[in-house]
Structure 1
Amino acid sequence: MSTRFRFLYILLGTIGLVLLAYEIIANLPEFNPERVLLIALPDMLLFFLAYKTYPEESKA
């Protein structure tokens, strides 16, 4: 994959995780699990895409 979008993927994934943390903390006694999944799944996809942009020789 192209490495051009690596920073964008990481940035958007991090923003999504911050939004997820805010969503959980703001609604702490009774947060909605479906809403958490709705936010977390695209974040996981973005971090996966960022992982796929790394060169093969630098992967663990």
Structure 2
Amino acid sequence: MGRKPRNHRQRWTKRDINQIGVLARKGVDTDHIAKKLGRTSYAVQTKASVENISLMPKDKKNVK
């Protein structure tokens, strides 16, 4: 198995959640957000979903 992220099993802070939203609005991909927060991509995707934060790039939102 690989290394555990530095924030493995740590509570999410309001700052972490805010940072997901800010970076997602800038179009930063999930892997980079995860690395910046010391989390896994899956953890970031899950938390974004719970907090109703869209991780989809702006140019892909209206594609059918």
TM-score range, shorter chain: 0.3 to 0.5
Structure with the larger helix share: 1
Q: Which has the larger radius of gyration?
A: 1
